[in-house]
Chain A
Amino acid sequence: MKINLDEIFDYTSFNVDRDPHIKLDEQICKSCDQRSCVNCCPAACYSWDEENLKITFVHDGCLECGTCYVICGKDAFTRWRYPRGGFGVSYRMT
């Protein structure tokens, strides 16, 4: 048994909003040499593109855990809030 986050939508349910609930200031992320968000996010929503020096955040599979909010040392968020009512992760059991 293995947790493969490429298959997260097979076991955890989401009602994905069009409008992301977290937005980043790309310029701040570009100047960051920590990038703890990339390894600490338990849903692997953040990835670093070495070629274009760019952090990409994909909100679709966000578990709304709050890790990035605490771990970011640069305050790179132009928006960090929970999704609008009714959107986002939807746990069935857990």
Chain B
Amino acid sequence: MKRTFDAIVVGAGPAGSSAALTMVKAGLSVALLERGNFPGEKNMFGGVLHRLTALEEYFPNFWEQAPWERHIVKKNLSFITPGSSFTVSFDNEAADTPPYNGYTIFRPKFDNWLAQEAVKAGATLLTRSTVDDVIRENGKIVGVTLLRDGAELRAPVVIAADGVLSFTAKKAGLRQAKFSTAQQGVCIKALIDMPKEVIDDRFGLVREQGASSEIVGNSSGIRGGTFIYTNYDSLSLGMVLELGSLEKTDQTPYGLLNNLMDQPQIAKLLRGGKLLEYSAHLVPKGGYSMIPELVGDGIMVAGDAAAFCIITGLNLEGINLASQSGVLAGKAAIEAHQQQDFSKQGLAHYRKSLEESFVLKDMKMYRRTPQMLHNDRIFSQYPELVCGVMDEIYRIDGKPKETMTKLLLRKVKETVGLKNLLADVYGGWRAL
């Protein structure tokens, strides 16, 4: 086996494969390392694949090339309590024509497809290859060792795209040694078998249209959210739970998900479904302040490894940021080869191009959002408030009606409190 390359990419997820693809297209020899039996084997997400503008140069007709389940035309946002739900639904014709804005996908299929595209373009994909450590010479990273047999792979530049815990970035001294529990959420997901026609009818869809639902509430007060995504003939139901909030309770992630599946409005959507697969993974939810050092001597960090993830409650972005950062890291590596300078200064262009792209611009814009979402009221009292108000507006019980103002004020006082509401509106405005 060849042991020396122009670049090594650790992790064949969306960030790593995007980086590898970019570099091999420019003629570099690239080793793309994957610890699973195939790329995507270890990967799950609680999200939608957003449009990957970074890859449109390589896949001009992405929607005809990539394996996806449904394209998203309908976005639902719900507040739920144990017995009621209030939903805002946005169904958009403009999202029904290519280039589609977002897709539901299966990661083992999609990630494998993208990695194989890099292979077709010339990348050397090494599966079953867990990285053990980085190789350092004169303070510079010059390669990695593999856990399998201690094999050494060498390259003047390494891209760490090995996911949320990035041990490669840790061993290179680029990420904090210990994460705080407030910075990480655990995503758990149940894949539920359901015939296509049933999904179409229940969610109001035709053809390959898909819906994504974000749901707040009924999580026993734990900071987190629920999602339901329609695949072609299955549903993805899951939750993202902040670890710092979960650890303060004696609740279990699967207990909370089971509880949710019994919530009457959710249960109606799931009726008749059968569990196909259960999965879990951490989500870097700490935002801008969680971003590690992105560049070191001979190394760059991309994707989840760099904490590139945006969670606002309305938008959940990750793969689009991962692929964009992968492409930019790949371009910085190409430039470093041209200049034959792989030092931190030589690779500094990576950080600069991220700052000029939507990746760091958006991460920066939403820097206050993680703090805003550290507000326990959002996850229990606001859903109670919204559903409580709706209940009284619609209820006919022979009693005279209150004015809307009186009703709202009374409900606010019963749930969040007026002062908190004003503070939260201000905080929410600043954060979003």
Residues of A within 8 A of B (CB): 1-3, 5, 8, 11-12, 15, 34, 36, 39-40, 42-44, 63-67, 69-71, 75, 81-86, 88-94
Contact = CB atoms under 8 A, between A and B. Distances in A.
Contacts of B382: none
Considering the complex of A and B, which 5 residue pairs feature the smallest CB-CB distances, nearest first? A85-B128, A86-B128, A42-B280, A36-B247, A66-B282
A80 to B, nearest CB: 9
A28 to B, nearest CB: 15
Contacts of B277: 11-12, 91-94
Given A39-B250, A40-B243, A91 B43 contact: yes
B289 interface: no
Contacts of B281: 63-66
Given A1-B261, A12-B277, A91 B107 contact: yes
Contact of A42 (B129, B234, B254): B254
13 contacts: A1-B192, A8-B278, A36-B246, A40-B253, A63-B280, A81-B167, A83-B35, A84-B148, A88-B42, A89-B42, A90-B41, A92-B108, A93-B109
Given A84-B148, A85-B128, A91 B243 contact: no
A94 B44 contact: yes
Contacts of A63: 278-281
Interface in B189-239: 189-192, 234, 236
A94 B107 contact: yes
Given A43-B280, A94-B191, A1 B274 contact: yes
Name B's interface SS: mixed
A3 B259 CA distance: 10
Name A's interface SS: loop
Contacts of A70: 179, 181, 183-184, 243, 282
Contacts of A71: 181, 243, 247
Given A43-B280, A67-B243, A91-B40, A2 B261 contact: yes
B280 A86 contact: no
Given A40-B243, A40-B253, A42-B254, A91 B279 contact: yes
A12 B279 contact: yes
Contacts of A67: 184, 186, 243, 280, 282
Given A42-B254, A93-B109, 13 more contacts: A3-B258, A3-B275, A39-B246, A40-B243, A63-B278, A63-B280, A82-B130, A85-B35, A85-B129, A86-B127, A91-B108, A93-B108, A94-B279
Contacts of B186: 40, 42, 65, 67
Contact of B37 (A11, A39, A66, A90): A90
Contacts of B188: 42
B147 A42 contact: no
A7 B249 CA distance: 25
B282 A1 contact: no
Contact of A94 (B108, B146, B251): B108
B257 A81 contact: no
Contacts of B183: 70
Nearest to B146: A85
A39 B246 CA distance: 9
Interface in B138-195: 146-148, 164-165, 167, 178-179, 181, 183-184, 186, 188-192
